[in-house]
Structure 1
Amino acid sequence: MTTAKDIMHPGAQWIPAHETLDRAAQLMRELNVGALPIADADERLCGILTDRDIVVGCVAMGHDPSKITAGDMARGTPRWIESGADVGDVLHEMQEHQIRRLPVIENKRLVGMISEADLAQHLSEDQLAQWVEQVYARA
């Protein structure tokens, strides 16, 4: 059985909810990623911040990214998956909620992220095509 841990990109890092968006952008650059899970004070997932969120939700709105926090941008119910979950469960979670990135949790700690690139490396062409149809066609 292939698990979430088998296909995830390890070493994902949180951005604390109190950190500003300019710091989040710097961390994204350092890590070469386009999204960061947002952690509350108890290191629990409270959202995901994307580079697009920073540009569209802050900069394009005329706000100062040094004054807006990651927590300010956290909206909705964050989705995640346990590291031992089957890849079918991963695909279902992403398809059901039309999400392109999924944090992987083990013992209540962030251990990785699953992105489109991870799926492309580990899925068959048919599985990937079905995932794309479900996530993008309904968007």
Structure 2
Amino acid sequence: MQQNLGNIMTSNVFTIKETQSLQEAASVMSEHNIGVVPVVNNSGQMTGIITDRDITLRSTAQGEAAQTPVSQAMTAQQVVQATPDMDVHEAAEMMSQQQIRRLPVVENGQIVGMVALGDIAVDNQYDNEAEEALSSISTPSAPQK
């Protein structure tokens, strides 16, 4: 039976504006126990995504201040996203190919949900997809020289 992301996604998604600070983004993550926050502009359109890892590697490790705008550390180009009517199998394949654990679900440019690899894994009919995606995502990359 084919199932779409709209049926398994988390629809209560916390977002942050691109002009807000990294400290505010980290506070949202800490308060809600999440590791990723979609970034939106004043119109609510998704413009990027920021992860706890982005904050660490693109700001803290570079000596950037906590008041640095989110736009300076977020991933903005080619953010992988899905639609609510996308098939779960297709989403799992996309997550595997792109090596991502969380997939924003967007409709008309607005964030409407988030699907995590765990959301797919908890449904027994998607065990193989979740296992394949995790295997690809967890493949270690070579250290940078």
Bin for the TM-score computed over the shorter chain: 0.7 to 0.9
Measure how far apart 1:114 and its partner are: 1.0
Measure how far apart 1:42 and its partner are: 3.3
Superposed CA RMSD: 1.8
Structure 1 position 73 matched with structure 2 position 52 = no
Q: TM-score, normalised by structure 1?
A: 0.87
Q: Kindly provide the CA deviation profile for residues 13-55 of structure 1, in whole angstroms up to 9, marking residues without a partner as x.
A: 2211111000001111222211001113332222210111112
Q: 5+ unaligned residues in a row in structure 1: which ranges?
A: none
SS of equivalent to 1:30:
helix
Other-structure match for 1:40: 41
CA contact (8 A) 1:40 1:46 kept: yes
Measure how far apart 1:86 and its partner are: 0.6
Other-structure match for 1:114: 115
- Inter-partner Cα distance in structure 2 for 1:125 and 1:85: 18
Measure how far apart 1:113 and its partner are: 0.7
Measure how far apart 1:107 and its partner are: 4.1
Q: 5+ unaligned residues in a row in structure 2: which ranges?
A: none
- Inter-partner Cα distance in structure 2 for 1:109 and 1:45: 6
Other-structure match for 2:128: 126
Q: Which moved more, 1:78-87 or 1:89-98?
A: 89-98
Aligned length: 138
CA contact (8 A) 1:54 1:65 kept: no
Measure how far apart 1:99 and its partner are: 1.4
CA contact (8 A) 1:103 1:112 kept: yes
SS of equivalent to 1:65:
coil
- Inter-partner Cα distance in structure 2 for 1:95 and 1:105: 19
Aligned 1:51-66 pairs, distance under 5 A: 51-66=52-67
Q: Stretches of 4+ moved more than 4 A in 1? A: none
Amino acid at match of 2:73: M
